[in-house]
């Protein structure tokens, strides 16, 4: 990261640092800075930190030419990405509060005083919101972008009740996150990340009119949208670690039964009975175990993926074998019993599987796939 404008250390610390992540926004910056200047003139002590990802579109010249001593440009040459730019801005901010906004004038700077009033009240986070009374979106959003935004908002529901958690117009205390290691700045939704991991209780939504940009184009690509799915998974693992482990474990378990049946069928078909039934069953069981191991390690015990493979595999096979052996013994015992109806057998098997899944999961996460100190995040 390179600091283009040295910070003026003689200036008193402002109340607010407005962090503006930019990528190729040179055309929009003069308009934005003019409007921010008007907010300053209205009595808000703010400075501006533009975090640009080496746009090479004249951004540096525009800032130099405007020559405002309350504006500072940071040019990042190594890192890229909106969320990490915002985090970089938070680290460099000097104000008591941070406001994050887009450069393209989609977000009206005039509501910054409302943000501050909320933060000085009892809000621990403020969002400029399109979806509360008084908020709106300029026409011209295609149906696709609208659906997209709605679907993304619904997916954020398990984490927050905020109406517009996708917003990129944010206000919060500079010290909201004291350990920035917990943050995973993937993709666009840094607001959602801060609200969830900052464990914000009182998020206030200030209505805004979201304008369509006049210059340049949106950087919200398909890749960024796919990153959002990844982000949701990470948030789930952070906020609901047990459920996010158990659910995939149970689902992989069910899929394992399918694999077992499929393998039995294939073996029968391929070998034409030459393998012998016991051997076929053993091969199918082992195959299903390997299937489960692979997917459980990836999806249910993701946090232990970097730990040594072999002890995990052996431990996994050993734990899996317990219910298998029990099943085998019970089946042999029941086979000779005339009183056991097939229905009872099915019920028993079902109850056994449910208990087995919980038992296996508990044993696995306690003994085989343990959390190490460094694996808490994702
Ligand atoms: N430094 C940096 N690096 N800035 C970036 C990058 C990047 O990789 N990508 C985008 N930006 C900046 C843009 O220059 C702009 O100032 C701001 O981030 C938002 O980018 P846009 O490309 O204008 O995003 P959008 O209009 O599609 O999305 C906006 O609205 C969404 C809600 O509909 C953003 O505010 C999103 O955060 C928001 O979810
Ligand atoms: Mn935009």
Q: Kindly state whether residues 277 and 313 are assigned to the same domain.
A: yes
Residue-wise pLDDT for 41-55, tens only, equals: 999 999 999 999 999
Q: Which domain holds residue 346?
A: 241-368
222 lies in the same domain as 78? yes
Residues 291 and 248 occupy one common structural domain: yes
Residue 9 is assigned to a structural domain of this protein? no
For residue 373, the 8-state DSSP code is G
- For residues 330 and 237, give the distance between their C-alpha atoms in angstroms, rounded to a whole number: 37
DSSP 339: T
Return the pLDDT at 171.
Answer: 98
> Is the minimum distance from the CB of 145 to ligand 1 under 6 angstroms?
no
Q: How many CA atoms lie within 13 A of 98 on its CB side?
A: 27
Decide if 376 is inside a domain.
Answer: no
The answer, yes or no, to whether any atom of ligand 1 lies below 6 A from the CB of 82, is yes
**Which CATH number do you get for residue 134?**
3.90.550.10
User: Residue 162's closest CA among 135, 183, 134, 131?
Assistant: 131
The mean pLDDT value for 347-367 works out to 81
Question: Please, which pLDDT band fits residue 75 given cuts at 50, 70 and 90?
Answer: very high
> Which of 239, 266, 282 is where one domain is finished?
239
Q: Are residues 357 and 223 both part of a single domain?
A: no
Edge-to-edge strands, sheet with 71-75: 2-3, 71-75, 46-52, 16-22, 97-100, 170-173, 125-129, 203-207
Residues 233 and 261 in one domain: no
Long-range own/partner contacts, residues 141-150 (CB < 8 A, 24 or more apart): 141/212, 148/225
Residue 10 lies in a domain: no
- Mean pLDDT over 205-212 rounds to 96
For residues 125 and 248, membership in a common domain is answered with no
Identify the nearest ligand to the CA of 25 by its number.
1
Of 86, 98, 106, 85, give the one whose Cα is nearest residue 125. Answer: 98
Query: Which one of 195, 221, 239 terminates a domain?
Result: 239
* 160 and 61, same domain (yes or no): yes
Choice between 223 and 191, residue whose per-residue pLDDT is larger: 191
Q: Where are the alpha helices (DSSP H) in 181-308?
A: 190-197, 222-239, 241-271, 277-295
Tell me which residue has its CA closest to atom 28 in ligand 1.
220
User: Are residues 145 and 219 located together in one domain of the fold?
Assistant: yes
Burial class (CB in 10 A: 0-12, 13-18, 19+), 109: buried
Ligand 1 in reach of 212 Cβ (< 6 A) = no
| 23 CA → ligand 1 middle, Å | 8
Judgement on whether residues 221 and 281 belong to the same structural domain of the protein: no
What angle do the packed helices 222-239 and 143-155 form, to 10 degrees?
10
pLDDT in tens, 229-265: 999 999 999 999 999 999 999 999 999 989 988 998 8
What is the mean pLDDT of the segment spanning 65-83?
A: 94
Torsion of CA 254, 255, 260, 263, to 10 degrees: 160
156 and 69 assigned to the same domain: yes
Please tell me if the CB atom of residue 102 comes closer than 6 angstroms to any atom of ligand 1.
yes
What's the whole-number mean pLDDT along residues 336-340? 56
From the CA of 169, how far away is ligand 2's center (Å)?
11
Provide the 8-state DSSP code for 131.
S
> Domain ends where: 206, 239, 272?
239
Q: What does the DSSP 8-state code read for residue 13?
A: P
In a domain, 222, yes or no: yes
Q: Which atom of ligand 1 is nearest to the CA of 220?
A: 27
pLDDT-based confidence at 364, cuts 50/70/90? very high
Same domain for 301 and 334, yes or no, is yes
Count, residues in the chain: 378
Q: How many CA atoms lie within 13 A of 103 on its CB side?
A: 27
Contacts of 200 (CB under 8 A, 6+ apart): 124, 125, 172, 176, 194
Please give the Cα distance from 118 to 95 (Å, whole number).
16
Is 8 inside any structural domain? Answer: no
Mean pLDDT confidence for 78-83: 90
Q: What total of structural domains would you count in the chain? A: 2
CA dihedral sign, ordered 300, 304, 306, 309: negative
Residue of the CA atom closest to atom 23 of ligand 1: 218
Q: Do residue 234 and residue 255 come from a single domain?
A: no
């Amino acid at each position: 990261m390179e600091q283009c404008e040295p910070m003026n250390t003689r200036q008193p610390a402002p109340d607010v640092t407005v962090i503006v992540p930019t990528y190729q926004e040179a055309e929009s910056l003069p308009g934005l800075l003019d409007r921010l200047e008007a907010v300053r003139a209205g009595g808000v002590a703010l400075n501006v930190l533009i975090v640009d990802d080496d746009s090479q579109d004249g951004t540096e010249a525009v800032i130099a030419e405007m020559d405002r001593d309350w504006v500072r440009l940071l040019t990042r040459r190594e890192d890229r990405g909106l969320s990490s730019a915002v985090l970089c801005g938070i680290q460099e901010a000097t104000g008591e509060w941070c406001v994050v906004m887009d450069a393209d004038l989609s977000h009206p700077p005039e509501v910054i005083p409302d943000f501050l009033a909320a933060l000085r009240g009892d809000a621990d986070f403020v969002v400029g919101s399109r979806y509360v009374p008084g908020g709106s979106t300029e026409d011209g959003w295609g149906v696709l972008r609208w659906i997209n935004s709605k679907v993304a908002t619904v997916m954020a529901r398990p984490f927050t009740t905020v109406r517009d958690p996708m917003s990129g117009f944010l206000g919060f205390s500079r010290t909201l996150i004291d350990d920035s290691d917990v943050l995973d700045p993937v993709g666009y939704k840094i607001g959602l990340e801060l609200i969830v991991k900052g464990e914000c209780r009182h998020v206030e939504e200030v209505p805004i009119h979201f304008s369509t940009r006049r210059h340049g184009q949106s950087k919200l690509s398909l890749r960024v949208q796919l990153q959002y799915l990844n982000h949701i998974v990470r948030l789930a693992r952070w906020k609901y670690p047990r459920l996010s482990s158990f659910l995939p474990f149970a689902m992989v378990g069910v899929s394992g039964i399918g694999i077992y049946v499929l393998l039995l069928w294939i073996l029968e078909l391929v070998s034409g009975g030459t393998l012998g039934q016991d051997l076929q069953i053993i091969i199918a069981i082992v195959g299903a175990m390997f299937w489960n191991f692979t997917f459980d390690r990836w999806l249910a015990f993701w946090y232990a993926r970097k730990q040594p493979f072999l002890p995990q595999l052996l431990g996994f096979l050993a734990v899996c074998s317990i219910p298998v052996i029990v099943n085998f013994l019970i089946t042999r015992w029941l086979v000779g019993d005339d009183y056991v109806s097939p229905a009872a057998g099915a019920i028993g098997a079902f109850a056994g599987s449910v208990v087995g899944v919980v038992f296996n999961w508990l044993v696995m996460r306690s003994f085989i796939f343990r959390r190490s100190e460094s694996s808490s995040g994702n």
